[in-house]
Amino acid sequence: MMDMDEREVPLQLDFEDDGVEEDEPMADRGAFERQYADERSWEELQEDESGMLRVDVAQQQRQHRKRMSAMAGPRIQRGIIRYLFVLLDFSRAAAEMDLRPSRMGIVVDCVEAFVREFFDQNPLSHLGVILLKDGIAHQLTDLSGSPETHIRALRSNMESTGDASIQNGLDLARGYLTQIPSYGHREVLLVYSALSTIDPGDVMETVQECKKANIRCSVVGLSAEIYICKLLCEQTGGMYSVATNEGHLKELIMEHAPPPAAQAEMSVASLVRMGFPQRGAEDAVALCACHREVKMGGGYTCPRCKARVCELPTQCHICGLTLVSSPHLARSYHHLFPVSPFEEVENLASANGRQSLSKSCYGCLQELPTPGGKVKGVRLECPRCRQHFCFDCDNYIHESLHNCPGCESNSVILSQLSQ
């Protein structure tokens, strides 16, 4: 933080000494610098009489909400059926210890959490892992829908050697992604620790070919901002971010779990034929198609070819029909009907002419801040049902629950929604 202040002075005085980077205006700097540009939180600290720091809870909450609302966009079409390849850089640069325990270790931890969250939020999607090391790209796991396969394979292959090649990685991913059905959204997530790329040919050509093949490439960098990664993301419509610490890295990788906005070229809609199998009785014995063994009980029967599969969602191994259950589809419905963001209630004015503000949060019965009261913070109101909620409930409702308790309990609003 002190460096920021020191660097700003040379910007105005002498332009000849400093390198090319110093001449860039504030807007071109990385996102993490822009975030501090107008909120200098260190200057807002105040001390009370005994010398202890005074924390303004309401201010902190407002800043958090501003950050969150900047990320959430309006209701847009999202790519729900995704085919994503995760490219991991396991070159020499991944063995650096600047992030604990090592860059490779923290990346594998974050990617494991990401894989689980990805299948949680996108149950119909497929994921594959490619490793970049020794200048070549190895495909670790094929595009599949089971998180355990990927995590197990990742954990047993943790060695970092050689150099990373972006061109080879992208070419390999592109080879697989061009074979998938047209309704799927093609994506690549590259987690890059090195500062350079060693390629056999022209990496710009690869970038253009990815753009032509409609593959959305995003990069999460661990070391510094690299021009080729930035170009790749800009050309293909992906997101480029660079992590500053372990927590930030996890946040950036998790940002790619929810479905991204669908690009205009890719909005080819098609009706996909899917089967909804019934669960077999607990004492049925059958030969399962995925493991080629006799299995007792449970299992699902494909409605087209009557083969038994062990778990859902999957593709039937005999006839190729996509098999899902209705909860899997329901997991993605919250993207189609999101909860409208809550608005802050100004404490001083009485809300809508009502004489008394409600004392407790509608969702959790926690005490809400009132003018002159002991509890500090922000009070939030749902624009539809006009109920008041606390800051924590607002976070929980918008991030995890996707239901407003006030709107759900109000049958008038519900009957409007169902029409």
Site residues for other proteins, 305-334, by CB under 8 A, read: 315, 317, 320-322, 325-327, 329-334
The total of other beta-carbon atoms located within 10 Å of residue 119's CB is: 22
Return d(Cα 118, Cα 189) in angstroms, integer. Answer: 12
CB of residue 293 to other proteins, shortest distance in Å: 13
Interface with other proteins (CB under 8 A), residue from 68, 153, 284, 401: 401
**Helix, strand, or coil here: 363?**
coil
Return d(Cα 44, Cα 63) in angstroms, integer. Answer: 13
The helix (H) or strand (E) run that includes residue 187 is: strand 185-192
Residues 208-237 that bind other proteins (CB under 8 A): none
Interface with other proteins (CB under 8 A), residue from 275, 299, 313, 377: 275
Which residues are CB-contacts of 302 (< 8 A; sequence separation ≥ 6)?
Answer: 275, 277, 308, 309, 316, 318, 319, 321, 323
Return d(Cα 398, Cα 288) in angstroms, integer. Answer: 41
Residues 176-215 that bind other proteins (CB under 8 A): 176, 179-181, 183-184
CB of residue 315 to other proteins, shortest distance in Å: 7
Pair of tokens at residue 284: 């049925």
Is residue 57 a contact point for other proteins (CB under 8 A)? no
Is residue 412 a contact point for other proteins (CB under 8 A)? yes
What is the residue type of 248? Answer: H
CB of residue 188 to other proteins, shortest distance in Å: 17
Residues 23-42 that bind other proteins (CB under 8 A): none
CB of residue 331 to other proteins, shortest distance in Å: 6
Nearest to 239 by CA among 225, 226, 220: 220
What DSSP assignment string belongs to 106-124?
HHHHHHHHHHHHHHHH-TT
Sign (positive/negative) of CA torsion 161, 166, 168, 170?
A: positive
The total of other beta-carbon atoms located within 10 Å of residue 305's CB is: 14
Pick the stretch among 66-74, 212-220, 268-276, 373-381 that binds other proteins (CB under 8 A).
Answer: 268-276
Half-sphere exposure of 177 (CA within 13 A, CB side): 31
- By beta-carbon proximity to other proteins, the closer residue of 99 and 177 is 177
Contacts 24+ apart (CB under 8 A), 1-4: 1/36, 1/42, 4/33, 4/36
Dihedral angle over CA of 285, 288, 294, 295, nearest 10: -60
What string marks each residue from 361 to 390 as x (binds other proteins by CB under 8 A) or -? xxxxxx------------------------
- By beta-carbon proximity to other proteins, the closer residue of 139 and 347 is 139
Is residue 264 a contact point for other proteins (CB under 8 A)? no
Alpha helices (runs of H) in 309-375, residue ranges in sequence order: 326-330, 333-336
- By beta-carbon proximity to other proteins, the closer residue of 153 and 158 is 153
Interface with other proteins (CB under 8 A), residue from 86, 99, 137, 143: 143
CB of residue 389 to other proteins, shortest distance in Å: 8
CB of residue 300 to other proteins, shortest distance in Å: 8
- By beta-carbon proximity to other proteins, the closer residue of 246 and 392 is 392
CB of residue 279 to other proteins, shortest distance in Å: 6
Residues 76-135 that bind other proteins (CB under 8 A): 77, 80-81, 120, 124
CB of residue 124 to other proteins, shortest distance in Å: 8
